[in-house]
Structure 1
Amino acid sequence: MSDMWAAHLVAPSTFAEVRVPAPAAAALRPGEVLLRVRAGAICGSDMPLFKGAIQRQGGLGNHPDGAPPGPGCPMHEVVGDVLASRHPAFEPGTTAVGWALGQDAIAEFVVTEGDSLVPDDGALSPANAVVAQPLACVIYAVERMGNVAGQRVAVLGQGPIGMLFSHVLKSMGGAAHVVGVDRVDRSAEARTFGVDEFVRASCDRWAESLAPHDRPQVVVESIGHQVGTLACAVDAVADGGLVYYFGVPDDLVYPVPMHTFFRKDLTLRAGTTKDRQRVLRLAQRYLRDHPSIVDAYVTDRLPMARAQEAYERAAAPRAGQLKVVLEW
């Protein structure tokens, strides 16, 4: 394979199909794996780059800070067949699921680190198996929240990540009451994902409406892409509570209503997913234990050649739409 197909983001919200040199097995470094992409899913963290934002402080794996995304960007949730490997856990002919660390999986082939993959157990189609990657991120975050059993929790944003948070907080965490808040009507999906009370509203209006006894002990901010929703979470949470900010921040600085934060004696947590192989395995097991969420979660499946349409759908949330997946 001398070259390969990829989608290249040539302008804000605009892909072009290109042929580019394919990665060579001989060029793999220790720990790397070469995958033939079977499926990839669109994450909320892909949206700023798709819309033309500049990524700084680390950049993507296949381009330096501030440079335009390279071919295959932006997509990191991936399932693929192993073509070559310099990682001891993977042999050619097997299938793997996890992170494309270069965020460049809108392509025929991709190279990533084996430590960010696990073997696919074959229980699901590639388009459904890819759900293990975002679910692993959510499981890791819920673990870091500590004991939420018996508590009232709220999840701001009931898109693909927010719905997974609602389900994991309820089923794995043992939360007593899960409130889901979103501008989009998610009432049809709410019960499937463990939401006890769905509120269709902006998070600031919801926060203002809360009586003292209704305030959750934990608030997850899973909306992202703006700074104001973090303040909503601080306003809404009960005294002594926890605010968990999930996702990659779009801005370098986020204002926090510090007087409120101080007087309410709050805790704020955030962070990237570590120990990836362990939580990917937990996610695979979770999907086996809760098969009803898989089909409800993957709502839009499109061929890889329709990347433009897929990203436009993901950028415009609507009722009945959760995860958008591209597949070969």
Structure 2
Amino acid sequence: MKAAQIVAPRQLEFVETPIPTLDGLPGEPILVKLHAGVLCASDFPRWTGGEFNVAFPRPLGDSLHECVGEIVASRSPRFREGDLVLAIPYDQRGLTEYFVTEGNMAASLPSFPQRELLILGQPLGTILWAARKLPNLLDQDVVVIGQGPIGLMFDHLLANMGARRVIALDKIDYRLETARRMKATHTVNVDRDDPRAVIADLTSGRGADVVIEAVGHQPETINLAIDLCRKEGTALMFGVPAEEHYPLAVWQLMLKNIRLIASIHPWVERDLPLALDMITQGRIDVSPLITHRLPFADAQAAFEMAVARRDNPIKILIDVDTSSW
């Protein structure tokens, strides 16, 4: 089989390697033939080498974790050969024609004509896990910092949860235009307008009831979330950090009695099926998000496009074998 390997910063190559087996593996593993995957911003540092002292060459298949495919071998009582699944590979090593994961890291795909959209059940599942921790949002003012795919899906979900205002913040206009399609009520380009002044004006000086940080990779947006939050409000840290330790505005956090929540990963067995239901039933429209589609052989170009934001990408799909769709 072919497997991608990042051999140096920003350099991906393909190697031939045996198809993995389940022999000798503990637990209830499954072997998945990859049909398609979608790049996530958490994959990018493994390609660039810019964070966490990433060492090269990277392991085979690193880095892809939003994946759909067909089970070709299973020791899980939940799945049989031939089942189509949304599956999360071990340690994001899904950029390969076949990958192994645990049965409890997968969910059956429902019938749906736009099967590629079901891949977004994985990131939506992580959002649902975070949403379980939020307070009642009915008639609340909510700010979403960052309008990448995660922030955009947050916009839609928060609107569905009854927020009075969903205020989307970003530096990139095409993302803010998409935010309107994803049910944001207000958009703010933070390079042109001071978000603190805008939020103060919209909330009569009170601040936002809930602020979602969906950028990651630096501390500034976490501290911005604390700034924008009202007294006794809630701030959610969702963006993946770049370092183990960040300087945090703890005095302001305490003076305002803000509840700070962190969230990562989905509750797979509950959140992925729910996310898939929400997509297939039209309760969250993720169709604006997959903007580009490239073949497996062009995975290097996919990373280059995503990291450079060339041609206004939101989500880039890597097509490995969707001919049967």
Query: TM over 0.5, yes or no?
Result: yes
Matching residue within 140, 149, 153 for 2:142: 153
After TM superposition, give the deviation of residue 289 of structure 1 in Å: 2.5
- In structure 2, the partner of 1:256 is 248
Which of 40, 47, 57 is the equivalent residue of 2:44?
47
The match for 1:74 is: 63
Tell me what 2:94 maps to.
Answer: 105
By how many angstroms is 1:205 displaced?
A: 3.2
- Counterpart amino acid of 1:213? S
Q: 2:164 is matched with which residue?
A: 176
The structure-2 alpha-carbon separation of the partners of 1:216 and 1:45, relative to structure 1 and needing over 3 Å to count, comes to same
Alignment CA distance shift 1:169-1:98 (3 Å): farther
Among candidates 9, 15, 27, match of residue 12 of structure 1: 9
Structure 2 residue matching 1:46: 3-state secondary structure:
helix
In the alignment of these two chains, the number of paired residues is 316
**Is the Cα contact below 8 Å between 2:216 and 2:238 reproduced in 1?**
yes
Aligned residue number for residue 290 of structure 1: 282
1:41–1:75 contact (8 Å) kept in structure 2: yes
Of the structure 1 ranges 98-107 and 233-242, higher mean CA displacement relative to structure 2 is found in: 98-107
Once the two structures are overlaid, the 10-residue window that deviates more, 272-281 or 286-295, is: 286-295
Q: What do you get for the CA RMSD once the two structures are aligned?
A: 2.1
Distance 2:242 2:89 in 1: 20
Residue aligned with 1:47, SS: helix
Q: Distance in 1 between matches of 2:124 and 2:191?
A: 25
Gaps of at least 5 residues in structure 1 are: 57-64
Distance in 2 (alpha carbons) for counterparts of 1:319 and 1:158: 16
Residue aligning to 1:32: 29
SS at match of 1:106: coil
- Structure 2 matches for 1:1-328, cutoff 5 A? 4-53=1-50, 55=52, 68-171=57-160, 173-185=161-173, 186-202=175-191, 205-211=194-200, 213=204, 215-290=207-282, 293-317=285-309, 320-328=312-320
> Taking structure 1 as reference, are residues 101 and 150 closer, same or farther at Cα in structure 2, changes over 3 Å only?
farther
Q: TM-score, normalised by structure 1?
A: 0.90
Q: Report Cα offsets for 1:126-149 as digits up to 9, x if no partner.
A: 422111000000111111112112
Alpha-carbon distance change, 176 to 320 in structure 1, aligned in 2, over 3 angstroms: farther
Q: What secondary structure, in the 3-state scheme, does the structure 1 residue paired with 2:286 have?
A: helix
Alpha carbons of 1:240 and 1:210: their partners in 2 closer, same or farther (altered >3 Å)? same
Question: How many angstroms does 1:190 deviate by?
Answer: 2.1
* Alpha-carbon offset, residue 317 of structure 1: 3.3
SS in 2 for 1:8: strand
Asked whether the equivalents of residues 99 and 117 of structure 1 are also in contact (C-alpha less than 8 Å), the reply is yes
Deviation at 1:29, TM superposition (A): 3.2
Partner of 2:85: helix, strand, or coil?
strand
2:323: which partner in 1?
none
1:140-163 deviation digits (Å, cap 9, x = unpaired): 111111211210000000111110
Task: Report the Cα distance in structure 1 between the residues aligned to 2:55 and 2:9, rounded to whole angstroms.
Answer: 14
Distance 1:280 1:202 in 2: 35
Distance 1:319 1:309 in 2: 12
Distance 1:97 1:166, change over 3 A: same
Residue type at the aligned position of 1:134: P
SS at match of 2:285: helix
Stretch of structure 1 that moved more, 294-303 or 173-182:
294-303
Query: Residue 229 of structure 1: CA displacement?
Result: 1.1
What residue ranges of structure 2 are gaps of 5+ in the alignment?
321-325
Aligned partner of 2:33: which letter?
Answer: R
Sequence identity (%): 32
Identify which range, 301-310 or 211-220, moves more after superposition: 211-220
Letter in 2 for 1:47: F
Aligned counterparts of 2:9 and 2:197: Cα–Cα separation in 1: 36
